[in-house]
Amino acid sequence: MTRTLQDVVKLQSGAEMPWFGLGVFRVKEGPELVNAVKTAIKLGYRSIDTAAIYGNEEGVGRGIREGIKEAGISREDLFVTSKVWNTDLGYDSTLAAYDTSLNRLGLDYLDLYLIHWPVEGKYKEAWKALEKLYKDGRVKAIGVSNFHVHHLEDLLQDAEIKPMVNQIEYHPYLTQKELQSYCVEQGIQLEAWSPLMAGELLEQPVLQELADKYNKTVAQIILRWDLQTGVVTIPKSTNEQRLAENADIFDFELSIEDMEQIEALNRNTRVGPDPDNFDF
């Protein structure tokens, strides 16, 4: 059982990735972003997830520097993730994109670098670039995002190194059990983006009943479910109270029956695009 905000899972590379972190998708550059990252770090968050396409790496970097200083920790205490965007997929262009992200963030290295989407005909060359970054010791772990089973199978045909993480849309309405089973078999850690389904699940009746039962919020029930299904989770918030509230999920455990109730809510419903139908 995951017991604290700093608990980690060991990836194939040996890198230790926190089970819980902060996502900053759709958080614009500016004081709100900087403050959210800084506040999360002060509250004990040790994982921050961004991406080149979010257009907020500079603010994330500033928040990291301020948070490190105010929390009295070091860069090595944090796990920072970014992603290469579709237009930069390719060998040389991916290597250049990594340097650009580092410069924007003001960091010397990333803990995790991901291919953001499986653009057909491009992700294998990009993966070779990620393998080079990893072999050269410039990144602690490499992985993918939004890859279905068939994308992973295709990638693994030519890969020298397996992806260590697959970050996907994952929530009670989209449990992706086949993909999760495959990733477990391959030793690929699953990570949830949009774990709260962009807020659409916060009034779901079954989840509300469980929230009442455990004296928790619906968000806390979902995030606890993530961890108990073995999935790393990175909910987004810029509000200090919600940042603290989201992370307050280590003092209870969902029963097997209640876990099954949540699993049964699956509708294969997405808030983001389907990787097989995304217009890249």
Based on the residue annotation, tell me whether 113 is a catalytic residue of this protein. no
Are 52 and 100 a contacting pair, CB within 8 Å?
yes
Helix (H, G, I), strand (E, B) or coil at 159: coil
Task: Provide the total of helices (H) and of strands (E) in the chain, helices listed first.
Answer: 10, 10
Q: Tally the C-alpha atoms within 13 A of residue 244's C-alpha that lie toward its C-beta.
A: 5
| Count of CB atoms situated within 10 Å of the CB of 198 | 15
| Count of CB atoms situated within 10 Å of the CB of 58 | 15
Q: For residues 50 and 64, what is the distance between their CA atoms, to the nearest angstrom?
A: 12
- Identified catalytic residue from 45, 54, 113, 182: 54
Tokens found for residue 53: 């396409």
Tokens found for residue 227: 């961890």
The gap between the terminal CA atoms of the chain, to the nearest Å, is 39
Q: For residues 279 and 249, what is the distance between their CA atoms, to the nearest angstrom?
A: 37
Supply the residues annotated as catalytic: 54
